């Protein structure tokens, strides 16, 4: 993350993403595959590290082998063809996007940190300071599924909606998005047009 000044001279916190070049590896069609999607590849990789099925797919598309492949469901955008190179200029400043990635893993965490539980009393000999308290019914003689308890925090696929594109640098293939996006530094994320929630 860094910060830039907007046209009014106000500091805007931004996350800088390298957005390409991405290559259209293949197009899924309803007739052949049962659904429609666009498969994009990103990141260079040596040919000897690619499996034979993927190597055949890259050869058929006429693109160099790539490290990551992501599917974007839905009808392909107009003018998108197999083998085409897509860069950061597919976005414009002012666009609102959704960003999907794997959030930072924070290990085994307790209830207060993981689920924002309030703590218990800390005086009069109470030992119930950061403990869960009651975990359900006495009659059931078991613990119900789905209770909020301590456990793994983070390291899950998550999407942040409504992020604004502040600036696009087509020469260096950089996108500057307002605010934070899921994942640590150097993580791979998926940026697409705003996905409606609901």
Distance CA 82, CA 88 (A): 18
Q: Does residue 7 surpass a pLDDT of 90?
A: no
pLDDT at position 78: 81
Give the residue among 22, 30, 24 at the shortest CA–CA distance from 82: 24
Distance CA 110, CA 133 (A): 13
- Would you place residue 20 in the very low, low, confident or very high pLDDT band (cuts 50, 70, 90)? confident
Tell me the residue range of the domain where 56 lies. Answer: 21-86
> For the stretch 145-169, what's the b/e string if a residue is b when 16 or more beta carbons lie within 10 angstroms of its beta carbon?
eeeeebeebbeeeeebeebebbbbe
Q: Does residue 181 surpass a pLDDT of 60?
A: yes
Strand order in the sheet with 85-86: 66-73, 37-44, 22-28, 85-86
Say yes or no: 168 and 198 in one domain: yes
Say yes or no: 28 and 80 in one domain: yes
Say yes or no: 101 and 162 in one domain: yes
Q: Is the pTM of this model over 0.75?
A: yes
Say yes or no: 81 and 3 in one domain: no
62: left (phi over 0), alpha (psi -120 to 50) or beta: left
Say yes or no: 165 and 129 in one domain: no
Say yes or no: 25 and 82 in one domain: yes
Say yes or no: 163 and 178 in one domain: yes
Distance CA 129, CA 15 (A): 38
pLDDT at position 128: 87
In-domain check, residue 143: no
C-alpha Rg value of the chain to the nearest Å: 23
In-domain check, residue 61: yes
Say yes or no: 68 and 163 in one domain: no
Residue with tokens 């300071």: 129
pLDDT at position 197: 65
Which tens digits make up the pLDDT trace of 42-98? Answer: 988 998 999 999 999 899 988 999 999 999 988 888 888 888 899 999 999 999 999
Say yes or no: 197 and 175 in one domain: yes
Say yes or no: 29 and 123 in one domain: no
What single-letter DSSP state applies at residue 92?
A: -
Which tens digits make up the pLDDT trace of 107-162? Answer: 999 999 999 999 989 999 998 899 988 888 888 888 889 999 999 999 999 999 99
- Domain with residue 96: its CATH number is 2.40.30.10
Region 7-29: what's the mean pLDDT?
92
| Distances in whole angstroms, Cα of residue 57 to Cα of each of 45, 65, 133 | 15, 9, 55
Quick check: 62 and 83 in contact, CB under 8 A? Answer: yes
Q: How many domains does the chain have?
A: 3
Say yes or no: 46 and 82 in one domain: yes
In-domain check, residue 164: yes
Q: Does residue 198 surpass a pLDDT of 60?
A: no
Say yes or no: 63 and 161 in one domain: no
């Amino acid at each position: 993350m860094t910060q830039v000044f907007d046209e009014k001279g106000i500091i805007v916190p931004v996350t800088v993403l390298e957005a390409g070049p991405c290559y259209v590896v293949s197009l899924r069609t309803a007739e052949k595959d049962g659904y429609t999607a666009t498969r994009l590849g990103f990141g260079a990789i040596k040919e000897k590290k690619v499996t034979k099925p993927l190597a055949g797919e890259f050869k058929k598309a006429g693109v160099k082998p790539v490290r990551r492949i992501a599917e974007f469901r839905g009808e392909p955008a107009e003018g998108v063809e197999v083998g085409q190179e897509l860069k950061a200029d597919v976005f414009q400043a002012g666009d609102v996007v959704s960003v999907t990635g794997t959030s930072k893993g924070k290990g085994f965490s307790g209830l207060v940190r993981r689920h924002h539980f309030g703590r218990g009393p800390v005086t009069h000999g109470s030992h119930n300071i950061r403990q869960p308290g009651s975990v359900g019914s006495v009659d059931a003689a078991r613990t119900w599924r789905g209770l909020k308890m301590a456990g793994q925090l983070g390291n899950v696929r998550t999407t942040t909606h409504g992020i604004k594109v502040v600036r696009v640098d087509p020469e260096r293939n950089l996108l500057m998005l307002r605010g934070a996006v899921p994942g640590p530094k150097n993580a791979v994320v998926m940026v697409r047009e705003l996905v409606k929630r609901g």
